[in-house]
A and B are shown apart, each in its own frame.
Chain A
Amino acid sequence: MSGRRSRWRTILFVPVAIGAATWFVTQVPQDAGVDQPFEVEGAVGETVRLGYADLTVTDVRVAQRIDGEGVAQAGGVFVVVDAVWEAAARTLSIGGAELVDAEERTHAATDRSGCATATSAAPAYGQRITYCFDVAPDALEGAHVRLGRGGEGESGAFQRRDAVAVVDLGLDEAALDEAGAGEALRVEGPAPVVDARPGTEGDA
């Protein structure tokens, strides 16, 4: 009898232990440092050093229409962000790009009309990329981009404990005047540049 009781105790111990551990993990608040990315702030024209790569947002433009591989018309307005990536030590993929507005709404980049949502970067030379975000006009004011090598995934799953650049775009409603209904803004796909650093010859 005691052997059978001991076996039942063992069998019951497993689900009880799993349940208790699950309860404990969900109840104890996690330190944000456990799974949050390391944000490195910058501004347009500044080089942001992320450890694995340097990033320079070289220009920010606003347009109703863009023209790369055919003309694309914005549902809202296109925020066109030109950037240059230069890897620190080895070739790597750059897959994270989102625009966050002042209300914390997140916006994904589009690959319409030759715009890129991802690229690769290598050491020793810069890789130019143009990100395009089709956003509502009220998203311009106070908008910033979050650019990194990891994609956003689920709740930033691929950026956990990794560096991400947060670059304020310096946009306001006046930028809408620039968007206008004139000629479509020319955009080009990713390509290497001679030197990514601002102020140097061959600057992107």
Chain B
Amino acid sequence: MKHARNAAPGLSGVARNLFASLGTTGKVVTGAVAAVLAATPFGAWNAVADDAVPLSAGTPVEVGPYEVLIEKVVSTRTLGDVRPLDPADKLLVVVAEVTNTSDLPAHAYQLADIVPAPVGAGVVDREGRPVADDVATGDRPLPDRYNIADAGDLDVVNPGVTYRVALVWNQDGDAAPATARVDLAGLDWIDEGFAGLDDEYWLPTDEITHSGRFDVEPPGSAGDDGEAGGADGGSGSTGTDA
């Protein structure tokens, strides 16, 4: 019985023998494959910004149900009635035009999924902590959203309708970036969810599909004077004071 047990080396024994039988090149390749497999749970296959389609000001791109056109990035002390949570901080504003190009109404809150916080612009979270540049897309702080035409909130974007929106983050008061990287993250249409529990919705992928560097208009610049705030008329907002 003893020799019978020795005759079966087991799975690990087979793997060890197989690995030992490989040549140097085979061992290197096998090791590399094993390393990638081991790193898979930690994001080895995630898309990186380098794979993204270049994004530039004034160029419309399709993301989920939206056509998104990033107009500009502005740093400002205030935006109409909107002020940073910490008075020493500033607001970083991405001004964009969004159009729903689908046949169904789209939730405006998903604009926050599509446009993650710009990178390299000194964005801070709601507790005032700086957001590192390498923070994953889905972990960056969400912006407040405003319809520039009336300075109000948006709940739904119906087919064929275009809004000029301001996406607003808190920015470190001492930050004065000349440029910032603006990313767009994709949405996947889920026609039929797992087990049919949740169907027909846009799921954030948190994968960057478009990316580009934009000039950041500093406080007090010409473009900042009411343009970013875009609070022409509406509920009492008057543009920026910078």
List residues of chain A with CB under 8 Å of any chain B CB.
65, 70-73, 75-76, 98, 103-113, 133-136, 138-139, 154-155
A-contacting residues, B20-39, CB 8 Å: none
Do residues B156 and A136 form an inter-chain contact, with CB atoms below 8 A? no
B186 to chain A, nearest CB (A): 21
Given contacts A73-B149, A112-B153, contact A135 B160 (CB under 8 A): yes
How far apart sit A105 and B160, CA to CA, in the bound complex (Å)? 9
Instruction: Kindly list chain A residues whose C-beta atoms are within 8 Å of the C-beta of B233.
Output: 71, 73
Residue of A nearest to B102 (CB): A105
> Would you call A73 and B234 a contact (CB within 8 A)?
yes
Q: How many B residues face the partner with a CB closer than 8 A?
A: 26
Does B226 have its Cβ within 8 Å of any Cβ on chain A? no
B161 touches A134 (CB 8 A): yes
Chain A interface secondary structure, helix, strand, loop or mixed? Answer: strand
CB nearest neighbor in B for A64: B149
B155 touches A139 (CB 8 A): no
Top 7 closest A-B pairs, CB basis?
Answer: A136-B160, A70-B235, A108-B105, A73-B149, A107-B158, A73-B150, A75-B161
Q: How many A-B residue pairs have CB under 8 A?
A: 78
User: Which chain B residues border A98 with CB–CB below 8 Å?
Assistant: 105
| Complex interface: chain B residues within 8 A of A71 (CB) | 150, 233-235
**B153-175 interface with A by 8 A CB criterion:** 153-163
- CB-nearest residue of chain A to B232: A73
Q: List 24 A-B contacts (CB under 8 A).
A: A70-B152, A70-B234, A70-B235, A70-B236, A71-B150, A71-B235, A72-B147, A73-B150, A73-B234, A76-B162, A98-B105, A105-B103, A105-B158, A105-B160, A107-B105, A107-B158, A107-B159, A108-B105, A110-B156, A133-B158, A134-B158, A135-B158, A135-B159, A154-B201
Instruction: Pick the residue among A65, A135, A155 that contacts B161 (CB under 8 A).
Output: A135
